[in-house]
Amino acid sequence: MAHAAMACGVGAGSSRLIVGNHLEHVQLERAVEDWLRVDGVRTFSSGYAANVGVLTTLLRPGDVVFSDELDHASVIDGCRLSRAKIVVYPHRDLGVLESQLREITGSRRLVVSESLFSMDGDLADVRGLSELCRRHGAYLVLDEAHAIGVFGSEGRGLAAEVGVVPDVLIGTFGKAIGTSGAFAATSRVVADLLWNRARSFVFSTGTSPALAAATRTAIGIVRGGDGDARRQTLERHARAFRATHPTISGDLRSPIAPWIVGDDRRVMRTSHELLAAGIFAQGIRPPTVPEGTARIRFGLSAGHTVKHLELVDRALTTSRA
């Protein structure tokens, strides 16, 4: 499909609002609507652009945005650019969030959280977030960048798995889907609003039509084919890895498997030692993560084999760190 799409040019030619709107873009948006069972989808060139575009479209001065303290940098930048009042709540602490929602008023209020946290591999209580938003009249924006394709039936993400429909679900194509770009899955009205108001969408060249076609093919693989079998393999790897190494944190099912070491230099040294042993596991340091929490971030995949996991087991057992 991607090869066929090359015939109409690799580049979109301009913003989609000018002459860059191709059939492949529209078909991709329809495919995501069908996959996630929503009325409206808007695609973006990246997850960064999607978070910034959505948050600056929905929020303005006088509004309040409640953000988990470990939300991704693109969420933080979107909140800042919106010029709404930003209220940060401690990581996954719905008790504090609830008291903030009780006390802090604004014209429009919106809660934003990741569902599977990118550097910690733990999960937001998505049902709890949705319930709080409903009780306190706030909108819910959920960044499922790492959960899409990984959790839920047909890989629809964590919200779908627990029966929650956020006001806006942000997903990326650059992770489990294996291409690049991102989307906001929402109502028809909000998708139309994003078309007209999201500056990271309006004032940016449309994504490559060939890429859109490749992404649509990839979604078909994630939804059907052996997608469920791959998700089961991935979950088995995640559970087995943690069973062997109790120092690995994050949710038991999470493919993001951090080993929090603490010291920056020790983390980078360990990362290099692992590489020498044939294992590519990136060291992550501040400011990406808070001071004193530098870590090795293992990323598990369904493509890994038991042999790969054994290699990591041996390396970790003999590691000097």
Ligand X SMILES: Cc1ncc(COP(=O)(O)O)c(C=O)c1O
Q: Active-site positions?
A: 118, 146, 175
> Residues 5, 145, 211, 261: which binds ligand X (CB under 6 A)?
145
Q: Which residue has the tokens 């944190």?
A: 249
Three-class secondary structure of residue 104 per DSSP: coil
Is 68 or 235 the residue whose CB approaches ligand X more closely?
68
Three-class secondary structure of residue 87 per DSSP: strand
Kindly state the DSSP code that residue 20 receives in the 8-state scheme: -
Is 56 or 315 the residue whose CB approaches ligand X more closely?
56
The stretch among 10-18, 42-50, 58-66, 245-253 that binds ligand X (CB under 6 A) is 42-50
Pairing mode, if any, of strands 64-68 and 85-89? Answer: parallel
* Cα–Cα distance for residue pair 67/72, rounded to 1 Å: 10
74 interacts with ligand X by CB under 6 A: yes
* Cα–Cα distance for residue pair 89/110, rounded to 1 Å: 13
259 interacts with ligand X by CB under 6 A: no
* Cα–Cα distance for residue pair 40/32, rounded to 1 Å: 9
200 interacts with ligand X by CB under 6 A: no
Q: Nearest approach, Cβ of 46 to ligand X (angstroms)?
A: 3
Q: Nearest approach, Cβ of 198 to ligand X (angstroms)?
A: 14
Is 143 or 167 the residue whose CB approaches ligand X more closely?
143
> Residues 24, 29, 68, 114: which binds ligand X (CB under 6 A)?
114
Which sign does the torsion angle of CA 151, 156, 157, 160 carry? negative
139 interacts with ligand X by CB under 6 A: no
Whether the CB-CB separation of 40 and 189 falls below 8 Å is answered with yes
> Residues 13, 106, 128, 174: which binds ligand X (CB under 6 A)?
174
> Residues 100, 172, 270, 293: which binds ligand X (CB under 6 A)?
172
Helices 47-58 and 73-82, packing angle to 10 deg: 30
Whether the CB-CB separation of 125 and 163 falls below 8 Å is answered with no
72 interacts with ligand X by CB under 6 A: yes
Site for ligand X, rule CB under 6 A? 46-48, 51, 72, 74, 114, 118, 143, 145-146, 172, 174, 182
